[in-house]
Structure formats: structure tokens, C-alpha cells
């Protein structure tokens, strides 16, 4: 049996740990999780361009369930009655580029939306979301981009150009490409092995999928308090959607659902943020924006353990939407799942962790 969170931190022994595995999700459950996640990952929803995903999420909600979109584009579902108000929030948006302009030779210049290493997009196929439909393109490689020294220095958004297969300003314009159009890595969801999957925008489509999966199982009249589910906007640009929602009604407790950027890859040291894929969802006990209280961490661990949900906890980087709720007086308890290769074109998750996260969200709605 592992030690408690507080004892382990006091002893300085580990930066993350999990409980003994619960029963594995069924094949049917994993198929449902995978299909829900795929339907979300394959929608283009760059920061400040989330409406296509909002419509997709609305189409996947139970038909008799009311939802609303606030002034910042956040999609909100409210269930139950009474205090305390518990908020569960996951963000819809993803990183990428926005079209800046079209040059004389037909290439497209861009501006960056969100934080990532531009060279990881170089030579990748991308999609421009125009008003007349998607336009395929590639991020044109620089001269000598295969030189390790050039790659280390990296391409910048100012250098980046998209090749849409034309040779003139007029030809590209005729395809419908205009300034302000969103650009993301081409959408392709792929299963890996028996339980893993890869796609660009697992961050935070996994969180959105967990909310959807939980909402489908909730019997609203049986809830003991009000639960507000928020699918937020512009998280990658500075938690802007969450800030708007928190000012409107912060509630008492916020569970922010976002990536646990794990060191479970061949590229990184397991000394920090080591939450292995396949061992359950994760409590972000400490990240760059919040330190969760020991009592709250242990309460969630106990809730999960008693209900046979696989769970881990640990320290990682990055912030979360709940930080905006803290400034308005709420408690933030960030949750997530372990992710490999964060903010790349090849993010990898384990569907068992996604299933566990959805189970935990459901438990929080019913019992927290």
C-alpha cells in the first residue's frame, strides 16, 4: 500500500504515484470512449474559433438536456439544484495558426495561436478552415531545415509559410483563403495497439470527452447539489473563457480538467511529472498555476479508491482553467490524464485513463 499524499510529500519520496489497478474497462466501454474522443478530435477548433466544436458537443449531448452558450462562447450545461455549486470545466480550443495574409507567390503567412514549438509543425500537412470549406496545405520547410543546428534554433511564426499548391496571390484567394482563417494540423485520429490513441488536440478533447461521457450517465433529479459543466474557450490564449465564466458565477469548487503533461516517454526523465499511461486519471496536486490542498487531494484519492477508479497524482507544468475561479473565491482541484508528446502533432493517450477520468467526473457530480 502506498503512503498518503501528505506523508510522501513530507518525506520527499515521489513526485507522482498511483493506487492499485481497478478492474479494466470492458471492450465495449473502450470503444465508446474511443468513438466519443474521435468525434471531438476530428473537429477543427483553434483558439477563438471554437464554434464548430461547440456544435459537435451539443449534437452529442442527450437530446432532452438543455445547454447554453455565454458571451465568450463557453458551452454550459447545468444539472441539479442546491448548494454548493460545483463547476467542472474543460477547454474546447486547440493550438495552431491564424492566416495573416497571402503573398504574391501564393504562399500564406500566419500568426501563432497558443504555445508550441513551431518546428514541430514544419513539413506537416495542415488544414485552413475557410468560409467555403477546408483547404489543405503544408507548412513549407525552410532551406536546410534538416540540419540539426537549424532545427534546434527552430522556425518562427514570422518565417512560417503555408504552401496550398498555387503560385499566385489570385489563385490562393480564389480558394477562399482569407486573413483570420484558422489553421491546424490535419485531423487524423488513430488507434495505437489495444488501448492507446493518437491525435492532435487530445489537449483538451480528452477533458471534453470525459465531461460528455459523465453527463450521459447522470440522473439529474438525484443530484444533491448543482453541478455546472463548462466547455470553455480560449484557454490556450490565457484562460480567457474561464475568466469570463468565473466572473459570472465562480461557485464554491472548481474541477478543471486538463492534460497532465507526463514524463512517461523515452525523451524525458521520470524524476518529474511521471504519471505512466494506462495507470489511471491524475490529480494535478501542483502545477504552474495552483497548489491543491493536501486535504482536497486526499479526499479525491479516497473517493476514487473506494469506487474502484484508477487514479494517480503528481506535479507537472502548465496552468489550468480553475486558476481563474480561485481569484474569484472558489477552490480549484485540477484533474487530468497522462499525456505523451504534449502540444505536438502526435499526442498519445491511453483510453483506459480517459475512461477512469470520466468515471471520476461522474463520481464528483454524484458524491463530492
Q: What CA–CA distance (Å, rounded) separates 350 from 343?
A: 16
Q: What CA–CA distance (Å, rounded) separates 241 from 50?
A: 11
State the pLDDT confidence band at 368, using cuts at 50, 70 and 90: confident
Residue 279 sits in which domain range? 5-94+200-367
* Tens of pLDDT, residues 257-296: 999 999 898 888 888 888 999 999 999 998 888 899 999 9
Position of cell 455546472?
Answer: 228
Q: What CA–CA distance (Å, rounded) separates 230 from 68?
A: 10
Sign of CA dihedral 114, 120, 123, 124: negative
Residue 15 has pLDDT above 90, yes or no: no
Considering the domain boundaries, does residue 122 fall inside one? yes
Position of cell 500568426?
Answer: 111
20 and 117 housed in the same domain: no
Q: What CA–CA distance (Å, rounded) separates 233 from 74?
A: 6
State the pLDDT confidence band at 123, using cuts at 50, 70 and 90: confident
pLDDT at 291: 92
85 and 213 housed in the same domain: yes
Considering the domain boundaries, does residue 263 fall inside one? yes
What are φ and ψ of residue 187, in 5° steps? -80, 125
State the pLDDT confidence band at 167, using cuts at 50, 70 and 90: very high
Q: Taking residues 174-189, report their average pLDDT.
A: 95
Q: What CA–CA distance (Å, rounded) separates 363 from 256?
A: 15
Mean pLDDT of the chain: 89
Q: Taking residues 314-329, report their average pLDDT.
A: 92
Cα distances from 132 to residues 152, 179, 236, in angstroms, run 37, 14, 26
Considering the domain boundaries, does residue 190 fall inside one? no
284 and 363 housed in the same domain: yes
Residue 176 has pLDDT above 60, yes or no: yes
Q: What CA–CA distance (Å, rounded) separates 255 from 244?
A: 16
Number of domains in the chain: 2
The mean-pLDDT minimum among 136-140, 154-158, 223-227, 265-269 falls in 154-158
Residue 8 has pLDDT above 50, yes or no: no
Residue 9 has pLDDT above 80, yes or no: no
Which domain CATH number covers 72?
A: 3.40.630.10
144 and 170 housed in the same domain: yes
State the pLDDT confidence band at 154, using cuts at 50, 70 and 90: low
Half-sphere exposure of 142 (CA within 13 A, CB side): 21
* Tens of pLDDT, residues 229-247: 999 999 999 999 999 999 9
Residues with Cβ within 8 Å of residue 244, at least 6 apart in sequence: 70, 71, 72, 74
Cα distances from 271 to residues 7, 15, 262, 280, in angstroms, run 18, 7, 11, 19
Cα distances from 167 to residues 101, 110, 137, 159, 294, in angstroms, run 15, 17, 13, 18, 60
Amino acid at each position: 500500500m502506498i503512503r498518503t499524499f501528505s506523508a510522501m510529500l513530507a518525506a520527499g519520496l515521489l513526485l507522482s504515484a498511483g493506487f492499485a489497478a481497478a478492474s479494466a474497462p470492458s471492450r465495449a466501454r473502450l470503444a465508446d470512449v474511443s468513438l466519443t474522443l474521435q468525434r471531438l478530435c476530428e473537429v477543427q477548433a483553434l483558439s477563438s474559433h471554437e464554434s464548430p466544436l461547440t456544435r459537435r458537443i451539443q449534437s452529442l449531448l442527450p437530446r432532452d438536456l438543455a445547454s447554453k452558450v455565454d458571451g465568450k462562447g463557453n458551452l454550459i450545461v447545468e444539472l441539479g439544484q442546491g448548494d454548493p455549486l460545483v463547476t467542472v470545466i474543460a477547454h474546447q480550443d486547440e493550438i495552431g495558426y491564424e492566416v495573416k495574409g497571402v503573398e504574391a507567390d501564393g504562399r500564406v503567412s500566419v500568426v501563432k495561436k497558443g504555445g508550441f514549438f513551431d518546428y514541430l509543425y514544419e513539413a506537416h500537412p495542415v488544414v485552413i478552415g475557410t468560409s467555403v470549406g477546408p483547404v489543405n496545405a503544408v507548412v513549407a520547410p525552410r532551406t536546410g531545415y534538416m540540419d540539426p543546428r537549424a532545427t534546434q534554433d527552430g522556425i518562427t511564426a514570422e518565417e512560417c509559410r503555408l504552401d496550398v499548391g498555387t503560385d499566385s496571390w489570385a489563385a490562393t484567394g480564389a480558394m477562399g483563403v482569407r486573413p483570420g482563417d484558422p489553421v491546424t494540423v490535419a485531423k487524423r485520429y488513430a488507434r495505437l495497439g489495444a488501448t492507446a490513441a493518437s491525435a492532435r488536440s487530445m489537449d483538451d478533447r480528452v477533458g471534453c470527452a470525459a465531461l460528455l461521457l459523465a453527463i450521459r450517465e447522470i440522473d439529474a433529479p438525484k443530484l444533491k447539489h448543482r453541478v455546472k459543466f463548462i466547455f470553455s474557450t480560449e484557454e490556450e490564449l490565457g484562460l480567457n473563457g474561464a475568466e469570463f465564466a468565473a466572473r459570472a458565477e465562480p461557485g464554491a469548487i472548481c474541477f478543471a480538467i486538463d492534460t497532465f503533461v507526463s514524463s512517461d516517454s523515452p525523451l524525458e526523465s521520470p524524476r518529474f511529472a511521471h504519471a505512466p499511461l494506462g495507470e489511471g486519471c491524475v490529480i494535478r496536486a501542483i502545477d504552474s498555476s495552483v497548489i491543491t490542498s493536501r486535504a482536497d487531494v486526499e479526499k479525491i484519492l479516497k473517493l476514487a479508491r473506494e469506487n474502484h477508479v484508477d487514479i494517480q497524482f503528481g506535479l507537472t507544468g502548465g496552468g489550468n482553467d480553475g486558476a481563474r475561479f480561485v481569484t474569484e473565491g472558489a477552490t480549484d482541484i485540477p484533474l487530468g490524464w497522462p499525456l505523451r508528446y504534449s502540444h505536438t502533432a502526435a499526442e498519445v493517450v491511453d483510453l483506459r485513463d480517459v475512461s477512469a477520468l470520466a468515471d471520476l467526473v461522474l463520481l464528483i457530480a454524484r458524491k463530492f
